[in-house]
Structure 1
Amino acid sequence: MTSNDLGDFLRAHRARLRPDDVGLASHGARRVAGLRREEVAVLAGMNSDYYARLEQGRERSPSPQIIEAISSALRMDGEAREHLLRLAGTAPEGRRQQPRETVDPALRQLLDGYPNAAAFVLNPATDFLASNALADALFSPFENVDNMARMTFLDPAARSFFTQWGRAAEAVVAGLRHATGLAPHYRRLDDLVAALTGASEEFAALWSSHTVQGKTRDGKELLHPDVGPLALTFQTFDVRGAWGQQLVIYHAEPGSPSDQALSLLGSLHATHHQESTTEQ
């Protein structure tokens, strides 16, 4: 993260709004996109110079009340508001923790208890920490199944695997941005963002939008070269006792074509694995 993440975040959200979005009249030509700082200050009921200092990084200790007023003025949703509170250091989360990078053996065993679903564990930087056999089969089109964000932006297989690649890319970046608020001093995440920003213009553009999102459930439209289209739902669960880890489960509607295709994929992967073991 930069030394002025709070200011960057405020500017990005200010740039998304027009005067008529917030009930203000627009007067004269505008040199920059979005609202002016003075307009945000008026909407938040504060001194415009104070708001300017916040954006410029000259004021770093706003009260929770100030942050609440600004988030309301900028029409932030719940996740963006919580992220803003964390950036300002006013979120009531107690002592910051560092994510745990090892998966408990019991959790690894639990992953194998989902034979009809692809289950895997990610850290806040979207590194794969553990996965079951069906997850290995699902992501087999990728050269390396190591990091979801890297795979999405730098592996050529992603453009066909995710049939709605743009949506998938936006979700990954918004999730990483959300993670920076939860783990602001997490070196692995900082290094990943720096590497992807330098390697992908698309990532850099999405990262600069400061969109925050930590989805717990959504749909995925995938195209696997071995079994064809897959319409799946994923659900994400925080792993208690291992701060920062998330258990992700991809599953299909029971009895649907995607359910049958997922079962076939598991069988094909098991057969291939058995043949490889026999050859050794």
Structure 2
Amino acid sequence: MTDLGDFLRASRARLRPDDVGLASYGRRRVAGLRREEVAVLAGMNSDYYARLEQGREQSPSAQILDAISDALRLDAEARDHLYRLAGTAPAGHRTQPRETVSPMLIQLLDGYPNTPAIVLNPALDILAANGLGEALFSPFATFDNLARMTFLDPVGRGFYPHWDRVADSTVATLRQASGVEPQYRRLQELVATLMEASEGFASRWSSHAVRGKTSEAKAFDHPEVGPLELTFQTFDVRGAAGQQLVIYHAEPGSSSAQALALLGTLNATHRRESAPNR
């Protein structure tokens, strides 16, 4: 017995014939689909499938795993898990990053009114932000993509006191994402745009430096509240391929914490003033 075989058996046990459009016949000793039914759905020899479950077949191809995934109605996470158990890289079949943010995650963002928080995709598009996150980046003309804002908006060089460091980190993050998501069209389009429009981006991209977003300190110079020294933490969003939650925070009691609190107050005031009269 193997972990792969155990996973396959458990996955077919969760399905009934009518879940997959098969007629049920004969008395079933165990719940779920029979091996022969999975083999039929996957378009393969039933003996071969049995050998997989029994651990006698060790190297299934990507095509075989795809067919089994479809037959067992595996979701994206379960499909990736199947590939890992089989020791096969799912090249060309990786789940594409999700571009919409779940309502629950948006509620979570709004539940932290005193901390800037944003959700990014691998191309550094800003998919969602809470109020203070929007306020933090409000000096930019368009709050849409961190890489575009850094390299193509003139505000960037004043907003980031250590612009070169931010630029290096931004490109390294995109380069790392391009290795993880080589077929991600949005990232390809962004890189092409920045390569044409920014010599600074093009020279950095050619260096092939690689680094994902994790945790580090970053300096800002906000026109409304002055200098800010914030630390950010990055978290992968489970269940939403490619999405990352980035949360910024200031050292408690520091001048940056006071400035961040002031920014929150100003943001609340701006929102009240811009709200339509009722």
Q: Which residue of 2 aligns with 1:103?
A: 101
Q: Which residue of 2 aligns with 1:219?
A: 217
Q: Deviations over 1:237-274 (max 9, x none)?
A: 00000010000011101111100100100110110111
Q: Which residue of 2 aligns with 1:265?
A: 263
Q: Which residue of 1 aligns with 2:181?
A: 183
Q: Which residue of 2 aligns with 1:210?
A: 208
Structure 1 window deviating more from structure 2 (191-200 vs 91-100): it is 91-100
Structure 1 segment 23-38 matched on structure 2, within 5 A: none
- Select the structure of larger CA radius of gyration: 2
3-state SS of the aligned residue for 2:275? helix
Distance 1:278 1:108 in 2: 23
Picking from 185, 191, 194, the partner of 2:192 is: 194
User: What count of residue pairs does the alignment treat as equivalent?
Assistant: 190
Q: Which residue of 2 aligns with 1:114?
A: 112
Q: Deviations over 1:112-153 (max 9, x none)?
A: 111221001000000000000000100000000000000000
Q: Which residue of 1 aligns with 2:29?
A: none
Q: Which runs of 5+ in 2 are unaligned?
A: 1-86
Q: Which residue of 2 aligns with 1:235?
A: 233
Instruction: Tell me by how many angstroms 1:164 deviates.
Output: 0.2
Distance 1:161 1:172 in 2: 15
Distance 2:239 2:162 in 1: 34
Q: Contact conserved, 1:119 with 1:132, CA < 8 A, in 2?
A: yes
Q: Sequence identity, in percent?
A: 64
1:142 aligns with 2:157: no
Q: Deviations over 1:86-115 (max 9, x none)?
A: xxxxx9653412100000000000001112
Q: Which runs of 5+ in 1 are unaligned?
A: 1-90
3-state SS of the aligned residue for 1:235? strand
Distance 2:212 2:154 in 1: 25
Runs of 4+ deviating beyond 2 Å: 91-95
Q: Deviations over 1:12-54 (max 9, x none)?
A: xxxxxxxxxxxxxxxxxxxxxxxxxxxxxxxxxxxxxxxxxxx
Cα distance change on mapping 1:148 and 1:92 into 2, 3 Å = farther
Distance 2:213 2:252 in 1: 23
Distance 1:93 1:245 in 2: 21
Q: Contact conserved, 1:173 with 1:206, CA < 8 A, in 2?
A: yes
**What amino acid is the match of 1:261?**
A
Q: Contact conserved, 1:161 with 1:222, CA < 8 A, in 2?
A: yes
Instruction: Tell me by how many angstroms 1:222 deviates.
Output: 0.6
TM-score with structure 1 setting the length: 0.66
Structure 1 segment 151-166 matched on structure 2, within 5 A: 151-166=149-164
Q: Which residue of 1 aligns with 2:243?
A: 245
Distance 1:156 1:177 in 2: 23
Q: Contact conserved, 1:97 with 1:183, CA < 8 A, in 2?
A: no
